[in-house]
Amino acid sequence: MTFSVFASLSATAILAAATIPATAHAAIFKHGWDRVGNVMGMHGKFGSADALPSDEQLGFIAKTYSGMATIGCGCGKTKATMEDASVQAATKLKGMNADGIVGMYYRSDMALELAHCSTYSAEWNAHPEWWLKDDSGKYIEEHGKTHMMDFSNQECADFFSSVYLYVLNKKLPSGKPAVDYIYMDGAGCDKTEYQPGIGPTRSEAICTGKMNMISALQAKLNARGDGQNLILNGMDTVETAELFVPTGAAGAMFDHWSILQYLNRSDGTFIKDSVDQGFSLVQSKLLSNLTLQIKGWPGPIVRQRDIYPPNIPTPKGPAELQRVTAERFNSELALYLLVAEESFFWLYSWFWGWDDWVPGQPDSSVPANFFPESKCQLGAPKSQGARVGSTWTYTREFEYATVFVDLNNRTNSNVKFTGTC
């Protein structure tokens, strides 16, 4: 490793990763290096299960985010289910780009869509014994209305696996899967306090049940040999990496890459040691057999949604959001390319809405002409990223690009292209 030694990686975690049987490892997803666009992915839900996105919008995704696309949808007003609508959209995307990697977003803790517009809503609602309770026996309800899953109940865990398999079993006319992966939101857990009101004993049982479910489901997908996977959110810390890796799940998202806990909230400057440790974590041996989605963000976001520190005006409205995300594309790309590997995908946007990825809508936050530098030649990396002496600057060379990262000043970071754009 060329970055600082990341001492927080425990011997237990490294041993756990090293001792997973080879047969338990999934076939990780990989991208090409030809152009910047090859490393880019997207992650957005369209508004309603009632109405699929237009062919024009799906065509834009199939062409522009050729590396990886996570889609999903909210509930509609009809009996259309979120799973079937998502599979229909995925099938269309596959028809437009047969080689594209397409996944579906699904929550794993709170049963929001699951309770209201899922193929399995009736079954979920008929089994209140699967709904999570605190230690006093009171149901835990997210936002005061949405029940959560109790993964310590084996029947609940098996049910939830069957929901995922319903989607993953869907086939294209060619016989290949319509959906390549499920993006499992809320995959993490705290073994000491899973939710407020749940003590360490039950918390550990629920968390263990969830990890066992993930492990068993990924193993089942591996055995089928169709290259389908689970990608878990969100792995921003060593502790979560230690939790996720032993499951054998194929991938994870580094959700808060270079924002929130990696920034001084007062002025948006980097907490340099923390960012450096993040660089080391994603390039550590612990994570060497995973697909990583690295979420890129337009600048120093210190609070969600899209809030800058007090000393930097927060963009307001679609026009400003488009302008700022275009201006910061190059410097944010540098933060990704410094650590990029062929199994690391970059997802750059303001947030998670459909129109944060697709231009041309009244509230689109992505520029109308997308990002011109996405067409630039990149080429394979010539080496790993390297810290420059004892400074807080880093460099890396690609076949057609030079990367510079400066943790003293975010906008000093840049990518200089030497090929065609």
Residue 202 has pLDDT above 70, yes or no: yes
- pTM, two decimal places: 0.93
pLDDT tens figures, 91-120 = 999 999 999 999 999 999 999 999 999 999
Instruction: Indicate the helix (H) or strand (E) that contains 248.
Output: none
CA dist., res. 137 & res. 150, Å (int): 12
pLDDT number for residue 3: 53
CA dist., res. 348 & res. 331, Å (int): 12
Query: Considering the chain, what is the average pLDDT of its residues?
Result: 93
CA dist., res. 147 & res. 131, Å (int): 6
CA atoms within 13 A on the CB side of 368: 6
Domains plus CATH for the chain? 11-417 (3.20.20)
Q: What is the DSSP secondary structure assignment for residue 51, as one 8-state letter?
A: S
What is the SS3 assignment for 166? helix
Residue 214 has pLDDT above 80, yes or no: yes
Mean of pLDDT values over 245-266: 96
> Shortest CA distance to 178 belongs to which of 217, 221, 226?
226
**Nearby residues of 211 by Cβ (< 8 Å), 6 or more positions away:** 189, 243, 246, 247
Residue 24 has pLDDT above 90, yes or no: no
Q: How far is CA 31 from the centre of its chain?
A: 16
Residue 5 has pLDDT above 50, yes or no: no
Rounding to the nearest 10 degrees, give the CA dihedral for residues 354, 360, 362, 364: 40
CB count within 10 Å of CB 38 equals 15
Of all residues in the chain, the percent with pLDDT exceeding 90 is 91
> Shortest CA distance to 251 belongs to which of 43, 38, 34?
43
CA dist., res. 226 & res. 89, Å (int): 20
pLDDT tens figures, 338-370 = 999 999 999 999 999 999 999 999 999 999 999
Mean of pLDDT values over 223-252: 95
CA dist., res. 14 & res. 20, Å (int): 10
Q: Find out whether 111 and 146 touch, Cβ atoms under 8 Å.
A: yes
Of all residues in the chain, the percent with pLDDT exceeding 70 is 94
pLDDT number for residue 27: 87
pLDDT number for residue 142: 78
pLDDT tens figures, 300-326 = 999 999 999 999 999 999 999 999 999
pLDDT number for residue 144: 66
Q: Find out whether 254 and 236 touch, Cβ atoms under 8 Å.
A: yes
pLDDT number for residue 22: 37
pLDDT tens figures, 118-176 = 999 999 999 999 999 999 999 998 776 789 999 999 999 999 999 999 999 999 999 99
pLDDT number for residue 25: 64
∠ Cα 247 158 143 (to 5°): 85
Mean of pLDDT values over 243-271: 97
> Shortest CA distance to 67 belongs to which of 36, 106, 110, 26?
36
pLDDT number for residue 26: 77
Peptide bond into 410 cis (omega under 30): no
pLDDT tens figures, 270-306 = 999 999 999 999 999 999 889 999 999 999 999 999 9
Q: Which whole-number Å values give the CA distances from 77 to 15, 51, 110, 324, 377, in the listed order?
A: 50, 10, 20, 36, 45
In the beta sheet, which residues pair with residue 104? 71, 182
> Shortest CA distance to 231 belongs to which of 105, 52, 325?
105
**Nearby residues of 2 by Cβ (< 8 Å), 6 or more positions away:** 384, 385, 386, 387
CA dist., res. 225 & res. 228, Å (int): 8
| Helices 154-168, 82-96: inter-axial angle, 10-degree rounding | 30
Q: Which amino acid is at 180?
A: D
Q: How many Å from the N-terminal Cα to the C-terminal Cα in the chain?
A: 31
What is the SS3 assignment for 73? strand
